[in-house]
Structure 1
Amino acid sequence: MKPRRKIVVVLKGYPRLSETFIAQELLGLERAGIELVIVALRRPTDAKRHPVHDEIKAAVHYLPEYLHEEPLRVLRSVLICLPRPDFRRALGALIADLRRDPTRNRIRRFGQALVLAVEWPDGAGWLHAHFAHTPASVTRYTSLLRGQPWTCSAHAKDIWTSADWDLADKLGSARWMVTCTKTGFDHLKSLANGSSRVHLSYHGLDLARFGNFEGWRAAHDGSAPEEPVVILSVGRAVEKKGYGTLLQALALLPRDLAWRFEHIGGGDQLDRLKALAEKLGISARVSWKGALAQEEVLQLYRRADIFALACRIAADGDRDGLPNVLVEAASQRLICVSTNVSGVPELLTDGETGLLVPPDDPAALARALERAIRDPALRTRLGNAAEQHVREHFDHMSSIGQLKDLFEQEWQAAR
């Protein structure tokens, strides 16, 4: 019997401006001939959406974000699943999880899985989760409820803020798991006891959307107040992005150096960062642009002189994997100044394709920024090298091909 090749993809929220890499992967899989159904745990909250979302053909279904908001839908799912033979096995997994993590969140994920198991898309035969925390929990419970195989794409926060026992259980249950940085791969591999079910797959960039920048950048060196060097950053205002460190570094730059900082993104710490810029006396040089669509961000990459992102490890262990915005900026010949955290050194090599400093070190970051501001030739050299590296090693079609091959291997084995 030929296995059904329609995949249910479980996401935390959809669509999201901050998860372009997921959207481009979904579109790539569709174009590779795989039929998808998107199931999201949350409805969209962003006012804008990227063009790639409009190109994805997959139907989108939303589970109850909170069980009490749709009690009849949840109750119906419980009553239908209760007599099924797989219900006990799934319930046993929930009880085991609750013993180690007695939270309402666990019960909510089980309830969402019950709804998905009952409202199963017609013709679907596979489950795939994006992120190894809550989406993978819903996916694993649904897999147990329906006897469907499942797989997972792990990224950053989901790896580093999840308990090792939770990740190990999911690795033992999933057919395979892919992740997008060597540091994440090594961690998951250790939890899977070296199992070959863990794969490294850089999600890369859709280079058709980020074509070669044929323009030129002026050789400003920070000496003329009327020609400031533009420093750009794209990212949510959250702890792991290190914007507090970046603002402190900007405040340490020599007062006679001409620069302007532009930030793109939302985030719950935005007001705090604006207050910090005011306190540091640099608010007149800072522009807060909020969340923008992809085509608007691309134009700002091309107008900027430097891209900066001060990635760090947050107090709860959360950190970036390999921020897609660094890959995007590098694709536009834009010199990147960042930190040697997590997967960033897998893209940037200090002095060759970018400038890297330790995290949480405003003085070191300020020195790197000043060096880049004063030396336009350095910006050109490192920006060109970074673009070449991205176009040779970070084409997202490589990742799409790898994922398609992994799914094909499973389907061939099931025949």
Structure 2
Amino acid sequence: MTVAVIVKGWPRLSETFIAQEILGLERRGLRQLIVSLRQPTDKAVHELNRRVTAPVAYLPEYLHDAPGRVLRALAAARRRPGWPAARAAWLADLRRDPSRNRARRFGQACVLAAELPADVTWLHTHFLHTPASVARYAALLTGLPWSFSAHAKDIWTSPDWDLRDKLAEARWGVTCTALGLARLRGLAPQPERVDLLYHGLDFSRFPTPPDARPARDGGDPADPVRLLSVGRAVEKKGFDLLLDALARLPAGLHWRWTHIGGGDRLSALKAQAAMLGLEGRIDWQGAKAQDAVIAQYRRADLFVLPCRTARDGDRDGLPNVLMEAQSQGLACLSTRAAAVAELIEDGVTGTLVDPEDPAALARALESLLRDPARRAALGAAGAARVRRDFGSDSGIDRLHDRFTTSNRQSSFMPFGGCCALHGG
């Protein structure tokens, strides 16, 4: 069995959970072909991604950049028995979503169908929005079965009609939070086809937590409490709320905040920090590979991630960075947004406040900044919980079993491709 794993981009610094899953399945003997809709844009690459040996193929990101390749694929697609069904599905989607993006996904699906190696027997997609559209159309063209892993933005910003159609046609799917599971099962014609599967962490990639952290309490201007946040500068992460909260802290309380991540709101956040007079107390480090991120977890005293629901409905699932921070015994302060409460029990394994409330966030920050013993207790409890309940091995074992069992049970005759994708 070879599974074509369709992703939006490869490799991506913000998607360690995908790389972890692909590597885990690879180590269990599952052959995979990674198919990316985009070329990589991050300058750094995680060591985790480098360990993956599966071949990588890139579809034309913009159809006009590869007209010959696209036209050949369209001509081949029209000769396939699955062409009428794929074209009808795409036209129905196009009527409801008359966008260039929708046209691009159909063209990419035709290229994928035309260039799939003959040994590929299954399609699997990460995210139920654009990658799943490509997988769905390609599955209709080729007759191959497909499945999905749904995460966060794809669940909450995709229209219901789009999700319903995909849930009706996918053989099965998994999602990484109970919150997301409830939404998908509510839309699926066969809810039992969608299961909960937390990403978890491969703890072999993480050192044991530090024995102890300095008892910083914000009283020494030469040794401030070290705050850390890791995440893209996008609305749902709530970093603008964190800046407002930091500006409310007493002048005599000494702290320093480090932010790791890129994102299109980074310039706006820096401008906000300057307006609030905070720029001298912040380190903007940009996107970093995971070894550098882990080093920062170990140096920090408190991890802060003030998640919220964005105006377009986008929200986090269960942010991996919270699990990573807890793996290093780092106390976490977050919000009751998204599925954070599925990981953090307020007052026991971390601290949660209501989202969109910078005053409450400031009060929690001040309390934790002044109390190193409380931080240590929360960090130790969080580390014990995450290592007990959020390891990745059991989930990857379940996925591997699902793929192999599904492949044995499939009674289809694929229409098949005849030549290899252009690899990368």
User: Shift of the alpha carbon at 1:177?
Assistant: 1.1
Q: Which residue of 1 aligns with 2:199?
A: 203
Asked whether the equivalents of residues 151 and 317 of structure 2 are also in contact (C-alpha less than 8 Å), the reply is yes
**2:145 is matched with which residue?**
149
Q: Partners in 2 of 1:382 and 1:194 — Cα distance?
A: 41
**What is residue 134 of structure 1 aligned with on the other side?**
130
- State the alpha-carbon separation in 1 of the partners of residues 8 and 410 from structure 2: 29
Distance in 1 (CA, whole Å) between partners of 2:278 and 2:64 is 46
Asked whether the 8 Å contact 1:225–1:258 carries over to 2, the reply is yes
Which letter does structure 2 place at the counterpart of 1:329?
A
Question: 1:69 and 2:61 equivalent?
Answer: no
Contact 2:303 2:333 in 1 (8 A): yes
Q: Within 5 A, what are the aligned runs for 1:79-118?
A: 79-118=75-114
Q: How does 1:7-406 map onto structure 2 within 5 Å?
A: 7-193=3-189, 195-406=191-402
CA contact (8 A) 1:81 1:87 kept: yes
Aligned length: 411
| Matched-pair contact (CA < 8 Å) for 2:210–2:329 | no
CA distance in 2, matches of 1:192, 1:60: 31
Deviation at 1:102, TM superposition (A): 1.4
Q: What is the alpha-carbon distance in structure 2 between the residues aligned to residue 256 and residue 296 of structure 1?
A: 30
Mapped to 2, the partners of 1:72 and 1:99 lie a distance apart of: 27
Measured in 2, the distance between the counterparts of 1:330 and 1:38 equals 30
1:289-339 deviation digits (Å, cap 9, x = unpaired): 111110011011000000000111001000000110000000000000001
Matched residue of 1:129: which SS?
Answer: strand
Tell me, in whole angstroms, the C-alpha distance in 2 between the residues paired with 1:363 and 1:247: 11
Kindly state the Cα deviation for residue 193 of structure 1 after the two structures are TM-superposed: 4.3
- Whether the 8 Å contact between 2:210 and 2:298 is mirrored in structure 1 is no
Identical counterparts, % of pairs: 57
- Taking the aligned partners of 1:397 and 1:111, their CA distance within structure 2 comes to 36
Distance across 2 between alignment mates of 1:121 and 1:362: 53
Contact 1:246 1:310 in 2 (8 A): yes
What is the Cα deviation at residue 412 of structure 1? 2.8
Supply the distance in 1 between the matched residues of 2:124 and 2:193 (Cα, whole angstroms).
14
Structure 2 runs not aligned, ≥5 long: 412-424
How far apart, in 1, do the equivalents of 2:28 and 2:64 lie? 39
Write the deviation string for residues 184-242 of structure 1: whole angstroms up to 9, x where unpaired.
00000000146210100000111011121233201111111111000000000011110
Equivalent position amino acid for 1:306 in 2: L
CA contact (8 A) 1:37 1:121 kept: no
Where in structure 1 do 4 or more consecutive aligned residues deviate above 4 Å? none
Q: How far, CA to CA, are the matches of 1:235 and 1:342 in structure 2? A: 15
Tell me the distance in 2 between the aligned counterparts of 1:185 and 1:83.
38
Q: Distance in 1 between matches of 2:309 and 2:146?
A: 30
Structure 1 position 402, deviation (Å) = 1.4
**Residue 287 of structure 1 aligns to a residue in which SS?**
strand
Deviations 1:91-139 (A, max 9, x none): 0001111121111111110000000000012311000000000000000
In 1, Cα distance between equivalents of 2:366 and 2:393: 36
- Give the TM-score normalised by the residue count of structure 1: 0.98
Point out which structure has higher relative CO (alpha carbons under 8 A, 6+ apart).
2
Q: Can you list the C-alpha shifts for 1:336-383, whole angstroms capped at 9, x where unaligned?
A: 000111110001011000000011110000111111101111001000
